Chains A and B, each alone.
Chain A
Amino acid sequence: DGGITQSPKYLFRKEGQNVTLSCEQNLNHDAMYWYRQDPGQGLRLIYYSQIVNDFQKGDIAEGYSVSREKKESFPLTVTSAQKNPTAFYLCASSINRDTQYFGPGTRLTVL
């Protein structure tokens, strides 16, 4: 089955730690995206990538980093510089200039 997988489903981070969220897609989509979701605020774009080895900052990129070494994978690292990382993180992919499809999400909690 084609789709987008995110792992882990739940992630706990201690203060000062970096953590990496995984996003993989087998839809052969060119573009991939990371969103952050907080209650009552909808989704906000963190980073996006339209092709391999290239990515751009979204609206709230501070404290996050990404890489796009393979078409299928777009991992997100939440660094210790992100002061309020507790949120639900959603990955999406699309053929360029078309509909975005979403993964099941990762819930990150800072202990």
Chain B
Amino acid sequence: AQSVTQPDIHITVSEGASLELRCNYSYGATPYLFWYVQSPGQGLQLLLKYFSGDTLVQGIKGFEAEFKRSQSSFNLRKPSVHWSDAAEYFCAVGAWAAGNKLTFGGGTRVLVKP
């Protein structure tokens, strides 16, 4: 069975600083990987996804993520954080062979200091 670990529960970053959120996955086959963002009391919005090809993936809102098979990681990065980036971020791995099920990590809450 697949699993996803987001080691950091909370991260505080200053506005304008860089941000990196860690994601490690466990999956026996080729993973399909996603990052979603959630504002308080809202649904999840897709930031980016990796299915195949270039291991550096560009997403919306200036985010990017890099797939590293050797490290089983899919870390999310942003060079310069804006106050509006304060939210909770979820990494997920998809299992197409099992009915397109998504397994989510526990999330990382990002706080942005002015």
- Residues of A bordering B, CB below 8 Å: 4, 6, 31, 33, 40-45, 48, 50, 56, 58, 88, 90, 92, 94, 96-105, 107
Contacts and interface: CB of A to CB of B under 8 A. Distances in A.
B99 interface: yes
B53 interface: no
Interface of B: 4, 9, 34, 36, 41-46, 49, 90, 96, 99-102, 104-107
A31 B102 CA distance: 13
B100 A31 contact: yes
Nearest 10 CB-CB pairings of A with B: A42-B104, A102-B43, A102-B44, A43-B104, A104-B43, A42-B106, A97-B96, A105-B43, A103-B43, A42-B107
Given A40-B106, A41-B106, A42-B107, A48 B99 contact: yes
B99 A50 contact: yes
A104 B99 contact: no
Contacts of A105: 41-43
